[in-house]
Amino acid sequence: MVEMLKEVQFAVCIVLCFGVSFSTKATAPNWNALTYTVEGTLQLPYAEITEPFSAYYDAKNKKSRIDYYGGMVITIQRSDMTKFGVSYKLAPMSTEKQLNMDMCFQVNGTNNDDAVTIQSILPDLTGFDMIGVEMKSGNNCTKWQKVDVQGKKKNVYTMWVGPDGKMPVRYEMHGYDSLLGSHYDKYYLDYINFGTNAIDKSKFDPPTNMTCGGFPGPGIKEHRIMMNPMREYINNDQTHIDQMFGFYKNQHSKQYPSVEEHEQRKHIFRHNVRYIHSKNRAGLTYRLAVNHLADKSSEELKLMRGFRYTPGNHGGLPFERSKYNLKDVPANLDWRLYGAVNPVKDQAVCGSCWSFGTTGTIEGAYFLKTGNLVRLSQQELMDCSWGEGNNACDGGEDFRAYQYIMKNGGLTTEEQYGGYLGQDGQCRKDKVTPIAKLKNYVNITQYDQQALTFAIAHMGPVSVGIDASHLSLSFYANGVYYEPKCGNKPDDLDHAVLAVGYGTMNGEAYWLIKNSWSTYWGMDGYVLMSQKDNNCGVATDATYVIIE
């Protein structure tokens, strides 16, 4: 009797909330059998991404299309073409020489297991139960849920449907891993402007003004998901992550000591891959790619940013603009071509970037004076400059390193001191002979990009601080890097790098920056950093040295 009363109360609640008659046996909508259009956003909270989309779906004619970022990237699925279907992707592609070329990519289905199928952006609600009524996004909605448990993982999928029983409102996925004791996955899709009118068939046609070819480079599974990104979110397809993570582990010789850490690293990798793919769909002036940092947590990435800015007088000399004709510079410059720059190193998970910026500018100045390129010791600076206020793997500043070198009669070579360790070590300065000796160092006028250009052209590579806190820089691959969220005030700077040149690409002025995150990162360890708005603070705290 009590159970019957509760059922009646629930049914009454639904009638009152919706103004229509629903029963507790309500039928879930079957969007996958319809022709529909819908707009919305995909939200990836862990990556802080909100990605707009527009979708076109024609079940009867076996065609679908999804546009991302206002049509910056378009994916088309045609299972009506050829035996196993065809998919197309229209997107801008950037290389080291050219930005944002409009391209068309084509991938054909090859067999029943790898056939191209049409992609709904609305979930199949088979197996979902209606668990109640709830307000969502200003709508009285029925709430549908499915719980999927596989081993230690529990995935909860929830869909809110509008009062007409057809209008999609929100789709959520929450994944919990009891092995790790934490939520490992979360994403949302919010929907607006749902309609079921007929769709012009030309919406699904590939372009006629360009030839559609295959993707350059390896990675078949990654190409599949790039051709149809929503498959991962709507169909819970993780096969590309499994394959990519296996390749990643082999490529970078990754071994994890426990099952728990392996799963945690794979979760981090998944979120970073999603971030990379989403940012690349935004049509930026640069591209991102999976690199050796893709299994690192935000905390570990932060450990690699060891620049610690100190306000006030840093000593050294001011840059005297009146002494120079600042227009006396070449239009572009790359000191690597003249032999003034050593190969890129890997600082590892250690906040020693300040030592690399320091040695880089001294090596360049020493080359310009002597004609000899030497490899100076970052490890000596890490081990021995504590008295000047540097803290080895826990951060430091270039001016403190200069002061150490001037007090101690110079800096020795890596050959004498021993190789870079990626960790704190015992100071051995009394067992080596200094090679590079400094008269002084110069602080380039803050925010003066013209002065920085002149200094690079006439004094050699320059040590600079940047804001490297954004994930987009961690996975930079090529193109001119411009991050609108990047800070350029002194307190924003958290990473030291080396400016070894400058130039323009398609009218976009850039600084050529050498990093210390290995050759797996960026363009063999380099980034083209946009000069626009003093992006990331390249011209905020720059220094060079005067060799004795």
Catalytic positions, please?
353, 495, 515
Cα first-last separation, the chain: 96
Q: Which of 54, 346, 343 is nearest to 194 (CA)?
A: 54
- What is the rounded distance in angstroms from the CA atom of residue 343 to the CA atom of residue 414? 13
Which residue reads 């819970």 in tokens?
Answer: 236
| Residue 492 near residue 305 (C-beta atoms within 8 A) | no
Give one DSSP letter per residue of 401-461, joined into a string.
HHHHHHHTT-B-BHHHH----SS-----GGGS---B-EEEEEEPPTT-HHHHHHHHHHH--
| Residue 14 near residue 241 (C-beta atoms within 8 A) | no
- Token pair, residue 143, equals 């709430």
| Residue 361 near residue 318 (C-beta atoms within 8 A) | no
**3-state secondary structure at position 387:** helix
Q: Which residues contact 354 (CB under 8 A, 6 or more apart)?
A: 306, 307, 308, 381, 390, 395, 396, 397, 398, 401, 496
- What is the rounded distance in angstroms from the CA atom of residue 382 to the CA atom of residue 445? 27
Q: Which of 521, 133, 94 is nearest to 347 (CA)?
A: 521
- What is the rounded distance in angstroms from the CA atom of residue 69 to the CA atom of residue 50? 10
Residue type for position 442:
V
Give the CB-side neighbour count of residue 347, counting CA atoms within 13 A.
32
Residues pairing with 510 in the sheet? 503, 530
**3-state secondary structure at position 176:** strand
How far CA 161 is from CA of 182, 187, 463, in Å, comes to 28, 17, 56
